[in-house]
Amino acid sequence: MTARLAPVNTQTREIISLNPATLEEIARFPVATAADVSAAIMRARAAQPAWAALSYSNRARYIRKVRRALYDRQNEIIQILSDETGKPQFEALSTEVFPACDLMSYFAAKTERILRDERFTIAVFRNKRSLITYEPLGVVGIITPWNFPFTISIGEVVMALMAGNTVVLKPSEYTPLVGDFIRRLFASAGFPEGVIEVVQGDGSTGAALVDADINKIFFTGSVRTGKHIAEAAAKKLMPVVLELGGKDPMIVCEDAPFERTVKGAVWGAFANCGQICASVERLYVDQKIADRFIPAVVEEVKKLRLGAPDGDFSTDVGPLVNEAQLNIVSEQVADAIAKGAKALTGGQRRDDLGGYFFEPTVLVDVTNEMKVMQEETFGPVLPIMVVKDEEEAIREANNTRYGLLASIWTSSNKHGRRLARRIEAGTVIINDAVYTNGAAQTPWFGVKESGLGATHGKAGMLEFVKMKHVNWDLLPMKSNIWWFPYTETWYGRFKTIMKLLYRWGLRKIA
């Protein structure tokens, strides 16, 4: 196979999965047509009432069976992830399998409490009582990416199922083996037919899912595709959750814990070969420590071992997942260097390694005119800008159309929290990077062009339900005072009530 092989064979309409470290073909799957998608939705629709009728504890029992099956078969999915995405097996375990197990445990135990009915009293109408209930949406469509094809898919599928929905999952065309493993995993746990359907395919399959008769779409991927999905969904007023890209800043204050910050910058920028929507893609360091900090980062980056993951823990950074991504990274680095940036280490493709490899790269003397500081890179590149103070760092951090995650590095948590309030991002982490998307309890959402809606935590679970308000009288009455007939007497009484409540303040006393 050549490096230019597309993931879809246009003659046979098959997805072709390549190992990005070796460019060897490892699997083929037929592309699901619009008719196939429609049939999957019909099966999911038929299965949904019975699934929703199960108690939370019974749904949780199924999820725990999946978790046990995953534990028993963890080596299989670790190898699939390593083969199909090129990530080291350590990362496959620590950033995919482990978080998936944790998420299943959390939502199996906590969903009933999160979605418990909420009662409240209406302040003025003391005879009234209200209830908020949380009910399943029905059938949800989930479209997931190639960078974390297992944990993102599992997370959204589990939340959807625990809320009482059924699911049609469309995995990335670059990771169909992972999607097929998910299908087999849920089947091995004895899930009823139709509760979770997996449709393999390319963009046409995803478009068919968005256009079909589903109740909500959850998409993780690029801003461009997210906008197309939002436009298509808007035409039929279908709600969406979009987890899109980032250009995530790291602010290094003068008092940052030095060694931890150096190591955090390197891991945050180069984990998963930089192919994380929350990767450190811009680093702003205070000029007072820059002369010491930058060389320390470069020395750590030089220690990273680039190569094909082979299971013996001799690799830290693997390949990019496809040629298109390799070309984007190469072009951004070339653009930066042409405009005056300097690569202190790295900066080159490594075609000699046989796959889609690019050297871990540190750039300095970067400016906002460079693509590497404005466009999402999604690769092993860390551009560093020296700033005169925290004010400049915050200003530059917010100078982006994205707003997914940011990190602040300082010895004072209080100071970090104060700065965090000024950052335009859905998540701000103090003295750490990236990791919160792997925690089931923490909500994950973006601002600006980084997305709509939430995943994970209570906020994420509420995306999988529809809220209903139920209201009733505590004591029966013949008539409400605002009903017909309208009279001058009751008009005057309303005026008196207004005076008592809102001029004399008796509402507060009541």
**Which amino acids are annotated catalytic?**
243, 277
What is the CB-side half-sphere exposure of residue 244 using CA atoms within 13 A? 26
d(CA 47, CA 307): 45
Which strand (E) or helix (H) includes residue 413? helix 413-420
For the chain, helix (H) and strand (E) counts, in that order, are 17, 19
Task: Note whether 174 and 146 are within 8 A (CB).
Answer: yes
**Hey, which bits of 287-426 come out as E strands?**
342-345, 361-364, 381-387, 405-409
Which residues make Cβ contacts (< 8 Å) with residue 476, sequence separation at least 6? none
Interstrand relation of 25-30 and 14-18 (parallel, antiparallel or unpaired):
antiparallel
Task: Note whether 248 and 397 are within 8 A (CB).
Answer: no
Cα angle 450, 453, 457; round to 5: 110
d(CA 510, CA 492): 21
Task: Note whether 48 and 165 are within 8 A (CB).
Answer: yes
Task: Note whether 34 and 183 are within 8 A (CB).
Answer: no
Phi, psi of 193, rounded to the nearest 5 degrees: -60, 135
**Hey, which bits of 73-232 come out as E strands?**
118-121, 128-136, 139-143, 166-170, 196-198, 216-220
d(CA 189, CA 210): 28
Helices (H), 125-243: 151-162, 176-188, 203-211, 223-235
Which strand (E) or helix (H) includes residue 417? helix 413-420
Task: Note whether 246 and 277 are within 8 A (CB).
Answer: yes
d(CA 157, CA 461): 11
φ/ψ bin of 86: left (φ > 0), alpha (ψ from -120 to 50), beta (otherwise): left
